[in-house]
Each structure stands twice: as C-alpha cells, then as structure tokens.
C-alpha cells in the first residue's frame, strides 16, 4: 500500500474513529434532531460533564459537529446532516449480519 493510498484511508479512518463509541453515536443521533448544550447532553448521557465535553471535542475536531457559544452555554449542532446516511448504512449492515447468522444456524 503506497503512502497516498494509506493517507486516503487514514483520513477516512479518522472520521470513523470519531464515531466509534456508543456515547458519541448517541450524541450524533440526538443532535440530528436538535441542537443541545453540554449540560443537556450530560443529563441525557449520565456521565461526568468533563467526559461528555471530551467526547464533544473529539467529534468537533474531525468536523462532525460545530459549537456555538451563547452566554455561558455552548450549543452543539451537526455540521452536516449527511452524517445520518451513515447510520442507515450501519443499520443495513447489522441487518445483513443478522440474516447471515440465521442462515448459519439453520
């Protein structure tokens, strides 16, 4: 694999990695419906606020979400709704997996 090819896959892996955590998937899902501030997300998730803040910064660093400071709150929103196609893809993969497993059992 040459450097250029590797760099291409690395760029994709960086985005995928940012999504590779249940809490972060939850955040993306919630934000796809409506923007939220850190404290709202923290309440929904039920983890330390600093933990949530770090998850948010991971998503922000790769450009999946963006922040908007208003007063002493910070609101997060999806930069692009197309991240949601992604969810559909995962869903269909999961679905195929289940089918595949059923066939193995039979």
Partner DNA sequence: TGTCTATTTGGTAAAATAGCCAAATGAATT
Partner DNA sequence: AATTCATTTGGCTATTTTACCAAATAGACA
Which residues bind to its own copies, rule: CB under 8 A? 1, 5-6, 9-13, 15-17, 19-26, 29, 44-46, 62-64, 66, 79-80, 82-83, 85-94, 96-97, 100-101
Asked if residue 74 binds DNA (CB under 7 A), the reply is yes
- Cβ atoms of residues 41 and 26 within 8 Å: no
Instruction: Give me the residues paired with residue 70 across strands.
Output: 73
Among 28, 31, 55, 64, binds DNA (CB under 7 A): 55
- Cβ atoms of residues 26 and 45 within 8 Å: yes
Shortest distance in whole angstroms from residue 84 CB to its own copies: 9
Interface with DNA by CB under 7 A: which range of 1-9, 25-33, 43-51, 94-102?
A: 43-51
Candidates 58, 71, 50; CA nearest to 28 is 58
């Amino acid at each position: 694999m040459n450097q250029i090819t590797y760099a291409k896959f690395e760029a994709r892996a960086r985005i995928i990695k940012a999504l590779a955590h249940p809490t972060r998937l939850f955040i993306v899902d919630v934000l796809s419906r409506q923007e939220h501030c850190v404290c709202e997300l923290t309440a929904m998730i039920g983890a330390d606020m600093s933990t949530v803040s770090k998850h948010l910064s991971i998503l922000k660093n790769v450009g999946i979400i963006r922040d908007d400071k208003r007063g002493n709150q910070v609101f997060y929103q999806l930069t692009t709704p197309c991240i949601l196609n992604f969810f559909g893809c995962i869903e269909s993969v999961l679905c195929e997996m289940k089918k595949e497993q059923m066939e193995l059992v039979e």
